[in-house]
Structures are given as C-alpha cells and as structure tokens.
Structure 1
Amino acid sequence: MMNRNFRVLIVDDDKDIHDVLSMTLDTKDSKKKKSLSNDLLEQLAIDTSQNMSNIDIFHAYQGDEALSILQNNTQETIDLLILDMLMPPGINGTQVMEKLSNTSQDLKIIISTAYFHDLEEQIREMAQSFKSVHLILKPFNLNLFSDLVTFILSEEENTFSNKDVLNLK
C-alpha cells in the first residue's frame, strides 16, 4: 500500500492523546509498546497488526508550535496534519487552518475534536481551502482512526465511508 515514509504531525494539547495516537500508528517504537500491558492494549482496542511502519510522527502541543513546524519544514513536507480544535492558551485549530489556507492547500487534515458543534461553521469554511479534510469526534475508535489514516495516505480517490467520520472536503 505505502512504499515511502509519510510524515504525520499530531497537534493536540493533551500528551496522552499524542501517546495513544503514536502507538496506534507507529510500529517502530517497540519499547513503548512493550512497556504497555496487553490488558491496556485490549482496553484501548488497538489492533497492532494494522499499524504502519513507514510513518514518521512529529508532535506539537499548541497551534503556534504546529505552524512553526509546518512553515519551517520546507525540505520534507508534512503529509497529514492531525489537528485538535481547542488548545488553550494558544491559537485554536481553526486559526491554524486559516493561517495555512493560502500556503498549504495540498495538506491533508484529520480534525480530531470533541467540540465540532461549537466551531462547525468555522471548520466547514476553513476545510474548503485544503485538499482533504476529515473530522473524527473524540472519543473515537483507534482502529477506525488507523483505517482513516491509511485511507488518506493511500490517496484513494474514493470517499472514506463510515458513520463516525465526516468528510468535510
């Protein structure tokens, strides 16, 4: 399916979200996986056989930090942005999207939030500026998340079809 390394940037103010999403996507970090008990992996419902080993994961905990990574990383671009909407005290996810809308139209985005309805109009408007935008509401199934990432990075022309994922673009 994927024959090159993809670069994924996770932007969320919650370190636990970073840890869980990284474990879901990254099979290269075997030390971290071994440190987790099988019970925890079962509780999180992570199907580790589906993990993708050719994803390089980058982390930002605030919107400004994400912008810095995205704008200063000109040699190798980020293929997928996983973006939370509310990250106090800094700029929020819609502001990140707005700042990227004129320079990063090819960026693929997964919005990962529990607050879609509060920001729905802004999110839908900003989504139109990008190649691909999907929304997944927290809390979400990690296998569904992994499938969505795989689908987006595979660049299939079809639409991802699942009642728990909203395709905004």
Structure 2
Amino acid sequence: MQFCNRILIVDDTKEIHEDFHKILNTSKFTVNEDLKQIERQLFEDEEFHSPGFDAGKIVYRLDSAFQGQQAIDMADQAAAENDPYALIFMDVRMPPGLNGVETMERIWENHPMIEMVIVTAYSDYSWEQILDRVGTTDRLMFLRKPFDQVSVKQMALALTKKYTLNIKVRGKIDRIQKEIHQRNEQLERMLSELKILE
C-alpha cells in the first residue's frame, strides 16, 4: 500500500506555513503530475513500515489553507480526487472565519480518519473543552507555538504512518466483512436447497 504523505497546514499566518515547509521539506518545490507519478512508482510496492523504509528520505506533500472554510473545501476536494490528507496541522485562532476547533469538527464529519494536530500559542478552548466537543480520540494531538523542529518531524512521521496503517486495516476489515457476507449468502442458499430436497 502506498504511504500517504499528504499534509494540510491550516493557519492565517504566512510565516507559519513557511516554517512547516522548512522543517518538513528541506527544499521547496511545486508538486506537479510528473513528481506525483515518480512518488507513486517509488512507494507503490514498498511497505513503508519495512526495515528498508527511510524516514529521512520522506518528501511530504504540503498544502496550505489560511482560513477554516478553505481547509474544509480542500479536504473535501482531496477526498473526491482519491488523494486524501493523512494529517492536518490546525491553528485555533483564524479570524474572521471559523476557528480551528469548528473547522476540525466540520472536517471530521466527512473525513473521520484524518489525523489532527492543534497548533497554537494560546487557545480560546482548554484541552478538556476540546475533548468535550470532539470526544476522546486518538486522532488528536496538541502542539504549542513556538514549536521545535523535532516535535513537528516526529508528529508528521508518526501520524502519517498511523493514518496509512488505519486505512490499510480498514480495507482488510471491509474485505473480510464482504467475504463473510458472501459466505453467509452461500450457506443460506445451500440450506434452502437442502430443505427443498427434504
């Protein structure tokens, strides 16, 4: 399964986006179709959790949203194109539109598997208030500004890998459930045929 390396940065400050780009990708580039094709070829058959997986060589695909509604629209579009975000780094305060918690709730309504990191220097919400709104979840982490490079890199790697594994597991569960359903139908047909023969 392909490693999902697509990340959305949601913040109303341009410099924060630049910081994430500097930390997560040492060189700036524009992702074009040729590069996407090369990445597909590189990662398609490679198990990202194998001993040969090199975290230092990961190139994250980073996109930027400066307001909450823009982030919602981008998450919807990415999913529609079957190229979803694995992780969103979300600022809390983004006046004048939706704040980060509201944006996160709206994104999770349609895309519940996306990993989220709330990034803020201060918040209108306490951790407890956020959990009261979104529920206790292992898809949410908290990162204080100013953030350090190591924390951002560790979160990006751990959470994109976690997202990819969750998608892989969900796919296996769906396949198993489909097989069980098909076998149950076969058994019911066989039982019906046996009753007719009696």
- TM-score, scaled relative to structure 2: 0.61
- Which consecutive unaligned segments of at least 5 residues does structure 1 have? 31-49, 158-169
Q: Is the 8 A contact 1:108 1:152 kept in 2?
A: yes
- In structure 2, the partner of 1:147 is 154
Greater Cα offset, 135-144 or 17-26: 135-144
Q: Relative to 1, partners in 2 of residues 1:26 and 1:126: Cα closer, same or farther, differing over 3 Å? A: farther
Across the aligned residues of Structure 1 and Structure 2, the Cα RMSD in angstroms comes to: 2.6
Mapping of residues 1-169 of structure 1, within 5 Å: 4-29=3-28, 53-73=58-78, 74-75=80-81, 76-116=83-123, 118-120=124-126, 121-128=128-135, 132-155=139-162
Q: Is the 8 A contact 1:107 1:131 kept in 2?
A: no
Instruction: Give the counterpart letter for 1:107 in structure 2.
Output: I
Answer with 1 or 2: which has the greater Rg: 2
Higher strand share: 1
CA distance in 1, matches of 2:117, 2:87: 7
- Which consecutive unaligned segments of at least 5 residues does structure 2 have? 30-54, 166-198
Q: Relative to 1, partners in 2 of residues 1:64 and 1:114: Cα closer, same or farther, differing over 3 Å? A: same
Instruction: Give the counterpart letter for 1:145 in structure 2.
Output: V
CA distance in 1, matches of 2:160, 2:73: 23
Q: Relative to 1, partners in 2 of residues 1:129 and 1:9: Cα closer, same or farther, differing over 3 Å? A: farther
- 1:103 to partner: Cα distance: 1.4
CA distance in 1, matches of 2:158, 2:77: 27
**4+ runs of 1 displaced by more than 6 Å?**
none
Higher helix share: 2
Q: Is the 8 A contact 2:120 2:144 kept in 1?
A: yes
